[in-house]
Amino acid sequence: MEPILPDTYSKEEKEEIERRHQRLFDAWQTRKEAHDLEAVNKAFYFAVEAHKDQRRRSGEPYIYHPIEVATIAAHDIGLGRTSIICALLHDVVEDTHYTLDNIKEMFGEKVSRVVDGLTKFDNLEGAESMQAENFKKVISSLSYDIRVVLIKLSDRLHNMRTLDSMPKHKQLKIASETTYIYAPLAYRLGLHAIQIELEDLSLKYTNPTIYFNIRKRMDDARGKRMGELRDFIAPIEAELEKNGIKARAEIKERSVNSVWRRMMDKELAFEDLYGSFIVRLITDCPKEQERMECWKIYAVLTNCYRPYTKKLKDWISFPKANGYESLHAVVMGQTGNWVEVQIRSQRMEEIAEKGFSAYWKYKTDNDTTESGFDEWLKKAQDLISSDSDNAIEFVDNFKLDLFSDEIYVFTPQGKMITLPKGSTVLDFAYNIHSKIGDHSIAANVNNQLAQLDRKLTKGDQVEIITSESQHPQEKWFEFLATATAKSRLRSGIKEYRRGFREEGEQKYEEIMRKLDMEPSKANRNMVMEAEGLTSSIDFYYNVATGKIDERLIRSVLKPQSSTSSFMRYITNRLWGNSKEEAAPITTSGEFEFNVSTCCNPIPGDDVIAFSFPGEPLQIHRSNCPKAIQLSSRFGNNIVKAKWQPKSEIAFLAELKITALDTAGLLNRMTNLFSNEMQLNMHSLHMEAKQDVVEASIAVYVHNTKELDDLITKLNQLKEIQKVVRKNN
């Protein structure tokens, strides 16, 4: 007999809870023996009871949320009994009177540990960003139980699906967190379906105008495009059958966010973008035959249509770190449009959609080779165990190293090394071994001498040249791209400087004797604080090498004898690091705000504002990468902001114009700006290449309508081919 649901729920709500209960069990794909069913039912009714007095902001019973999280974990990721139990209980400790000890007693140590990983910190004394601390806690679970991350992604997906009931500033905070951390994390775990839904929902709330505009265009184009692609597929299917190759064809639609990102990257209008719909050819064959079958399908494809060879991507020979494998080709269709085609096996298709769980489904006990996913997980665990205690730095480093696009390079022995895109020779050296990095002086890249700051590209072969007389240097941080290398360089510098301690102590004592002062720890700490040093190792190294000398120590400990130099010193310490340039504007005495130059928002844009103590508000466009990063760190500092209907202040906007090089073009453009629209230009740069002109123009406008009118009028000039607003 099943437990009776609490009377805090209405009859209709009880029926809905039981309906969702059944849907959860239908979604559960793994083993369901009697004791498994009993354990999940126990957790289900415990959660129903624990949350009986709670409601979501929408007014719905709170219990709907953990049930839906468990359903996503079971259906979309393919997790089993323990994960489903943890998903049902994930908010119990955080939101009710039950403790981790209660969970441990009722459901065991394993469940308790996962629930602990999912429980947010409520308040940490001295924490700069509670969001970053909670991100760090979730990410750190990769070192002991990946289910914490998988359930957290399920939790985030359901929160994004139900974000409509939240106020605007909360929507921006949660959507920005999702863009910055959770969508990339889903990608790295190969959870493609979850990744693209998170990205689309984030775009919906950070830039709704763009989201709904592109979605409408995709809806309008769908019928025609699907018809064209069905005609495109027909000769391929006939040729596959003729050659005895078993494969099925599917038409896939890209996500709204993916289409928008491609439009921005390629600076194309939606109508000019060929990749909004793709064709996928999937073969079902034994794993050992996959590569051969996929290339056979590619041969059939290129017999039917002419390929764009530079666009061929072989993710089968070189799988991505998240386990993704596929051949990507672009061919010219019958209608004169380029068509993107993806070729893969059924196994590859499952891994592409469900990532981590599908990968383990196909991994056998006899398969001892490490995949890209195994390597990525190992890197993640290394970074977790060795990184900074500062949560913001930890999250930024984790994203830098493990969320970036990748390149693969080779050692002289032919071993393939995967590095984040943008990595340098020195990143490669530190990736091989800390000692090699510490003693690097140069490298042979493809048999040509290269400096340590040389950026590597896909397929480079790298041989590091070392010298025992070389030592790690502070300036190297400037051209390191990976957090792993930075961490190892930091350790190398500390180890190198440790050798100067005795010399530094002797010099410090000599200086203090001259000043007739005690070489005490208290005096040393005063100098360290003034210099911004946190380690005695750095202090004695700076003394030994003369960076901290008698004059500087006197200015700190005896400021009355060197007031002017001391004041100069303090001024430099306080103001030496300039902030990002921004234009401070005061609005009729009400408050101050800075319009950020990283994205140049203007009235009419969707904007987000951040408030920090003692500083003007920071105004960004809501889809600005820096705003997304700030939201992910300081979501509680977001304030409600919207432009006034009218503004007398002019704001800077930048346009990129592509035009045919004709006589009088510049005169016609400047006449449009200055005379017809009465706008002031800030800057103009034009460069002609053959018969095409590329122009970058910064102009002051009052709002987005004025900017849109300007773009429309520019497009009416016969020479102009394209006008886009720069995102900076």
Confirm if 190 and 355 have CB atoms less than 8 A apart. Answer: yes
Q: Would you kindly state where each structural domain of the chain is located, as residue ranges? A: 11-208, 212-361, 404-496, 499-575, 582-639, 651-725
pLDDT tens digits along 644-702: 655 567 788 888 988 888 888 888 888 888 888 888 888 888 888 878 888 888 888 88
Per-residue model confidence (pLDDT) at position 245: 92
Residues 6+ apart with CB under 8 A from 377: 142, 146
Q: 651-725 maps to which CATH number?
A: 3.30.70.260
Per-residue model confidence (pLDDT) at position 563: 44
Q: In 3D, which of 81, 92, 70 has the Cα closest to residue 23? A: 70
Angle, helices 168-177/147-161, rounded to nearest 10 degrees: 150
Q: What's the predicted TM-score (pTM) here?
A: 0.72
Q: Tell me the sheet residues that pair with 341.
A: 279, 329
Angle, helices 563-575/550-557, rounded to nearest 10 degrees: 90
The CA distance from 129 to 630, in Å, is: 10
Confirm if 438 and 492 have CB atoms less than 8 A apart. Answer: yes
Residues (pLDDT < 70) of the chain are: 1-2, 121-129, 356-374, 383, 385-390, 399-404, 559-591, 640-648, 727-728
Per-residue model confidence (pLDDT) at position 248: 93
> 3-state class of 90 per DSSP?
coil
Residues tagged active-site: 94-95
Q: 11-208 maps to which CATH number?
A: 1.10.3210.10
> What CA dihedral angle connects 624, 630, 631 and 632, to 10 degrees?
110
Per-residue model confidence (pLDDT) at position 304: 94
Instruction: Kindly list the strands in the beta sheet with 327-332, ordered across the sheet, starting from the edge strand earlier in the chain.
Output: 247-253, 277-283, 338-345, 327-332, 313-314
Q: In 3D, which of 121, 119, 93, 117 has the Cα closest to residue 105? A: 93
Six-digit token string for 120: 């947010």
Residues 6+ apart with CB under 8 A from 123: 130
Q: How far is CA 570 from the centre of its chain?
A: 37
Residues 6+ apart with CB under 8 A from 541: 497, 500, 501, 504
The CA distance from 134 to 123, in Å, is: 10
Domain spanning 404-496, CATH architecture: Roll (3.10)
Six-digit token string for 579: 């902030």
Angle, helices 130-140/625-633, rounded to nearest 10 degrees: 90
Per-residue model confidence (pLDDT) at position 583: 38
Per-residue model confidence (pLDDT) at position 685: 86
Six-digit token string for 648: 């007398």
Q: 212-361 maps to which CATH number?
A: 3.30.460.10
Q: In 3D, which of 86, 13, 4 has the Cα closest to residue 43? A: 86
